[in-house]
Chains A and B, each alone.
Chain A
Amino acid sequence: AFFLCAGDQNLFTALYGSLTQQLPREPMEWRRSYGRAPKMIYLEANFVQFKEELLPKEGNKALLTFPFLHVYWTDCCDSEVYKASVKEDMQRWQAALRLHGSVDWLIAVVESDNKKKNKTNLLPRTSIVDKIRSDFCNKQSDRCVSLCDPLKESSRSQESWSSFLTKLRTLLLMSFTRNLGRFEDEMRTLREKRTEPGWSFCDYFMVQEELAFVFEMLQQFEDALVQYDELDALFTQYVLNFGAGDGANWLGSFCQPVRSWNGLLLRRPIDMEKRDLIQRGEASLLDLRSYLFSRQCTLLIFLQRPWEVTARALELLHNCVQELRLLEVSVVSGALDCWVFLSCLEVLHRIEGCCDRSQLEANTSHTVGLWTYATEKLRCLGDLCGLVSENGPNSEDLNKTVDLLAGLGAERPETVNSPQSPYKKLKEALSSVEAFEKHYLELSHAAMEMYKAIGRLRSARLVGKSLAEFYMRKGDPRSAENFLLDSLKSYVSESWSLPLTHTRKQIAECQKQLQKMDEYLQTSALLASDTNLSDDERRHFCQEILTFASQTAEDARVALSMSSFTRLQELRFRPSSALVHVSAALQLELRLCSLMPVPVTLEQISASIHFTQEQPGSTAQKRAAQNPDGTVTFPAASPASASASALELCEILEHSPSDNVLSSAGVACRNMHLLMRQNDSATSLDTPNTALTALTLEDGAQMLRASDVTLLPGNNSIVFTAQKPGVYTLRQLCATLGQVQFILPHLYPVVQYEVYSQEPQLSIQPLTEHLLAGLPQQVKFTILTGHYSVKKGDALQLSNTDSMPVLHSSTCSARILSSSAELLAESALSIQSSEKVTSISLPVTPPYHTLEFLLEVLCHIPSCPARMESERLTNGQISRRSRTRFNSGMTLIDQKVSVDCPWSIYSTLVSLTFHVPFKVKHSLLSAGRRKFIQVCLQNLVFRQQCVFSVWELRWSSVSPVSLHCVFSAAFAPADAPDAALKPYTYDFTLERVSVSADGSDLSRVCVAAFHLSLCDIYCLR
C-alpha cells in the first residue's frame, strides 16, 4: 500500500528505513465484508513524498498505486513556528485531501529531546499536539499521534514507536478495507454492465486483475487466484454464448486470425507484453488465454499446487483448440499443433523447475497426459510437414514448415540460453526427417515408460500402436510389428472387437510388407471372416488367400488355423450308433460353417483318424459326447462363450450345534473363483494368444477324404465314408486349398466310431422254454454270417446220434435277414440224412446277414434211468453225447450236437437240454400177508397230474429172491392225440430181504439196501 507523506521531509526520510522494515513485522487480523473469514495479514507499505498530482483522480481504478494513508510529519514544538507556517501547511494539505475525498490521514508529531533542550521557552509539548488536535482532528483525536524520539534507544521511545506502528497498521487496514470494499463494489457494478453495448472485457479484466494484484501483494494467493478464475469463467461463458449465437461486440478482437503461436510463457511472474496487448484491446484469444494461465500458474505454484497446474494446463489446451473452432478463428494448419506442443513442454519444464525428481516420479499420472499430448501434436506436425514418410518432405511440405516456423517468432530471451527449450526442440524437430524421428521417438518412449510405470498398460500400448503407425509410414514394418502385436494381444484378451479388427488390418499390412506369408495369410483369414469389415474388404482378404493358394511353388505349403476359416458345428453319424460292420457304409456328415465371404472350392477336406488299440465294442461307453441320434455338437470356439459358464449355486444351511435350530441360510457360488477371474479384466491382459500356436499336421495318419468340395458362405455339409475295420478316433481336420491348408489341430469332444469285422456264428436255441424229451421238438438255428458269405452248396453237417434223431420235415424253410433285422428272403431247405450225418444245405446268403431256420428233433427218453446212472458211475467220465441229470424233481437230458460248418474246419458243439416230462414212483404196499405194487406216473408238464396203478403180487411157490418189473405207458401230446410215439418205460426190481432176529445184522443189511439208492426196498417181517 502506498503512503503519501507530507510535512517535514527530512524527518520522514530519517524514519523511512525503520518504518518500512518494521511495519510488516506483526500481523493484523483482517475482518472482511460479505461474511468472508477473517485472515491474519502482514501489511507492507511504500512511503512516498506527497505531491498533489499523485492524488488519485476521479474514476481511477488503480489499486496498487492508491495512497491508502496520508501522513503529515512534523517535529514542530514551537507554537510560534506552528502558528506561522506549519498550521498553514497542514491546512493546505487537508484541503488537497478533502478535494480528492481522502479521509485517511494521520498527523505524526515527533518530539525530540534535543529540540526541547534548546528551546526552553516553549509551551508544554502536549499543547502543540492538543493544538493540532483541536485545529484539525474534529472529534478524531486519534488522528494525531505524538511520537517520542524514535531514533533513540530508550524504553520510552520504543514504547511510543510500537504504539505508533500499531496505530499506523490499524489505520492503514481500515483505509485498505474501506477502499478495497469500494473498489470491489465498483468492480461489481462494472461487471453488471457487461450486457451494455460499450462494455469491454479487456477493461474489466484490468480492473479485476488490479484486485488480484493487491491480494497477491498481501500474499493472499488463494484470493488472487479466485479473481483470475472468475475472469476465466466469464470469458469462457462469453465464448460459449457466442457459439450459441449470442455474440458480443468486444469478442470480435479475439476472433482475429492467429498469427503467432509461440506457446505459453510461464517463466515470468507477469508477462507484461501480453498484458499490454490485453490493455490495448489487441490481444488474440491465445494471448488472453496464455496470459491468464501464466498468472494462474504463478499463483498455483505459490500455493504449492503444481499438479493442479498440469491438470489445468491440459484442460486449457483442449479448451483453446475447441474455442478457436467454435469462434471459427482462422488458423494456419499446424499452428495450433505448434502452440500446444510448445505449451505442453513449457508447462512440464515449469513443473520440473519447482519439484524435485522424487516428487515428479510420484506424480507421473499428472504429467503423463501432457507428455502424450505433446507427442500426439508433434506427430501431427510431422505428418503435416512430410517428415513421416519414406521420401521426406516435398517442396509444398517445406513451404508449410517455413510458414509454421515464421509463426513461432524469435525465441524469448528467457530460454535463449537453455539448450533444451521447447522452442529449440520444435525448431530442430521440424528441421529434418532424422531430427524429427529422434524427438518423436524420445517423446513416445518417455510417454510409454510413464504409462507403464503407473500401470496404465492400455494407454502405453496405444502409444506403442501410434509408434507402429509411424514406422509403417516410414516404410519400416520390422520395427512396427511388435508394437502392433502387443496391442493386438490386449484387444484379443479383452475381446474389444472393433479395435481388434482395426489393429489386425494394420498387422496384415505390416506382415505383407515383411513377406511373412504364413502370418499374413493367417491374419487375412481372420480378416476375411471378420464381420466388422465391409464385404469388399473381406472379399479382398479372402482373395489374397485364394491367390496365394493358386501359386505353383511346390515347396511353399502353408498351414493355417481352421478356426478363422470355417467353424465345425456338428458331426452326424449314419447309422447313429457309429458302429458298423465291415463293408457297410458308415457316413460321417460334417456340418461346417464357412466364415469366408465368397464360395471357396477346396481340393480336399480330410479328417485324420487314429486307430485305437481297443477291443471292439468297448468304446461304447466312451462316446459320451455322442447323442443317441448320432450327432456330436462342437462348442463354438469363441472365448466369449467359453467364459460364459453358468453360476454353480448351492444352498447353505447352518444349524446351531446345541439345539439344531437353523442359524443361517444362504446361497453360495461354487465356481466364483473362475467367474471372478474372468471378470477381472486386469489380469487377463497377458494371456497367450492361442491362435498363433504352431499348427502341425500329424504325419502318416489315416484319413477320411472328400475331394473337390465347394464351401459356400454359411452352413455346409460334407459327407465322409468310413470303411476300414477298427475303432477310430477323429483327430484333426484339414482343408486343402492349393498351397494352403487349414487345419483344426484337435477335435474336441472326442469322437469315435467303429467298423467291426465279425466271425460267422452258429447258435441253436430251443423255440419253447423247455425242450421236452420223448416228443418232437423244434429248435431254431441262427447263423450270423459275419464276414463269410454263404455260397451255393454250403451245408451244415450234423452228426447223428441214436438218442436224438433229426426229424425230416418237408416244410422246413430258411429266412434271410439283413443286419438290421429286415427280412430279405425265404427259401426252402433241403435236408439229407445218411446213417451218421444229417446234411442241411444252406441258401446263398451275403455277409453280415442272419440266416434262420427251424429243425425238428426228438430226444428219446432213456428206458431205464437206473441203468444209465450206473453206467455213468462205472465210466466215470462224460464221453457220451447225452447225459441225464436230476434237477428239482425233473430229469434233464443234455444232448450235445456236433455241427460242421462250411466256414470252419472245426466242429461246433452245441448243447441242448431236454426235460423228461414224466416222473414215476413205485412202492410195495402190504396188507397182512398180501403184497401190492403201486406205480405212480406223474405228468410234470401238465398240471402235475398223477396216474396210479396197483397190482397184487401173488406167487404160487416160494417167492423169488428178485423180481424184475417193466412199467410201460403210451402217451401222446394233447394237440396231436394220434401221434405214434415210443411209449415211456420204467424198469424196476423187487428184492427179498431176510432179517434175522439179531438186530445188528438187520441194520447192516438196511444200510446196504440204502446204498442202492434207486432201488425200492420191501421188507418181510
Chain B
Amino acid sequence: MFHYTVHTSLDVVEEKISGVGKALADQRELYLGLLYPTEDYKVYGYVTNSKVKFVIVVDSSNTSLRDNEIRSMFRKLHNSFTDVMCNPFYNPGDPIQSKAFDSIVSTMMVQAC
C-alpha cells in the first residue's frame, strides 16, 4: 500500500507543478509541501528544476518532523543527488549505488525514527 501511496502522490506533484505555472517558476521554490495526507502517512514532495521528483513519506504518528525539518531533509537529499549526477561514471537512469548518497539517506532515516 505504501508504494501505491507514493505512486499516486505523483498526481498531486504534477498538479502542483502545472498549477504553479510561470508565476512561481522564477521563485525557484522546489519544495511542494504536504502532498497527500492519509490516515497512516504524510507524503511530502520536492521537484528539482530538471523535474526530478523526490518524495518523503512520514508516518502520521511521527509528530517531531515539521515542515521545516522536511524542507531541510529535501535540500540535503537534493545536494547529495546532485553530487551523484556529477559523477562522470554515473549514467542517468541507472539505480544509484553511491555510498555517499546512501549514507545521507540512512542518516536522515535514523534521525527521523
Contact = CB atoms under 8 A, between A and B. Distances in A.
A, B from the same assembly: yes
Contact of B12 (A240, A314, A456, A491): A456
Contacts of B63: 240, 243
Contacts of A681: 10, 14
A325 B3 contact: no
B51 interface: yes
Contacts of A315: 37
Interface stretch (A129-137, A347-355, A457-465, A555-563): A457-465
A499 B10 CA distance: 14
Interface string B78-107: 000000000000011110000000000000
Interface string A613-655: 0000000000000000000000000001001101000000000
Nearest to A496: B7
Given A318-B39, A640-B93, A496 B11 contact: no
A890 interface: no
Interface in A136-191: none
Contacts of B38: 318
A284 B99 CA distance: 50
Given A644-B94, A682-B14, A458 B8 contact: yes
Contacts, number: 59
Given A322-B60, A499-B3, A462 B37 contact: no
B77 to A, nearest CB: 19
Contacts of B93: 640, 643-644
A891 interface: no
A534 B61 CA distance: 30
Nearest to A451: B11
A689 interface: no
Contacts of B4: 462, 465, 499
Contacts of A462: 4, 7-8
Contacts of B29: none
Nearest to A457: B11
B15 interface: yes
A636 to B, nearest CB: 13
Given A643-B93, A644-B94, A458 B10 contact: yes
A454 interface: yes
Contact of A458 (B11, B60, B92): B11
A373 B38 CA distance: 9
A314 B37 contact: yes
Interface in B1-39: 3-4, 7-8, 10-12, 14-15, 37-39
Interface residues of B, number: 20
A456 B11 contact: yes
B39 to A, nearest CB: 5
B26 to A, nearest CB: 21
Contact of A459 (B8, B37, B91): B8
Nearest to A237: B63
A465 B5 CA distance: 13
A44 to B, nearest CB: 40
Given A456-B12, A459-B8, A322 B61 contact: yes
A321 B3 CA distance: 22
A406 B37 CA distance: 31
A431 interface: no
Contacts of B14: 455, 681-682
Contacts of B39: 317-318, 321-322, 373
Contact of A496 (B3, B61, B91, B92): B3
A452 B8 CA distance: 13
Nearest to A682: B14
A671 to B, nearest CB: 13
Interface in A655-694: 679-682
Given A314-B37, A499-B4, A644-B92, A455 B15 contact: yes
Interface in B32-72: 37-39, 51, 60-61, 63
A498 B3 contact: yes
A365 interface: yes
B7 A458 contact: yes
B15 A679 contact: no
A682 B11 CA distance: 9
Contacts of B11: 451, 455-459
A326 interface: yes
B60 A456 contact: no
Given A240-B63, A322-B61, A644-B92, A679 B7 contact: no
Contacts of B61: 322, 325-326
A454 B93 CA distance: 30
8 pairs of A and B residues whose beta carbons are closest in the complex: A456-B11, A644-B93, A459-B8, A498-B3, A458-B8, A458-B11, A459-B11, A499-B3
14 contacts: A318-B38, A321-B39, A322-B39, A322-B60, A455-B11, A455-B15, A456-B11, A456-B15, A457-B11, A458-B7, A458-B11, A499-B7, A644-B91, A682-B14
Interface of B: 3-4, 7-8, 10-12, 14-15, 37-39, 51, 60-61, 63, 91-94
Given A314-B37, A318-B38, A644-B91, 12 more contacts: A318-B37, A318-B39, A322-B39, A322-B61, A455-B11, A462-B7, A465-B4, A496-B3, A496-B7, A499-B7, A502-B3, A682-B14
Interface of A: 240, 243, 314-315, 317-318, 321-322, 325-326, 365, 369, 373, 451, 454-459, 462, 465, 491, 494, 496, 498-499, 502, 640, 643-644, 646, 679-682
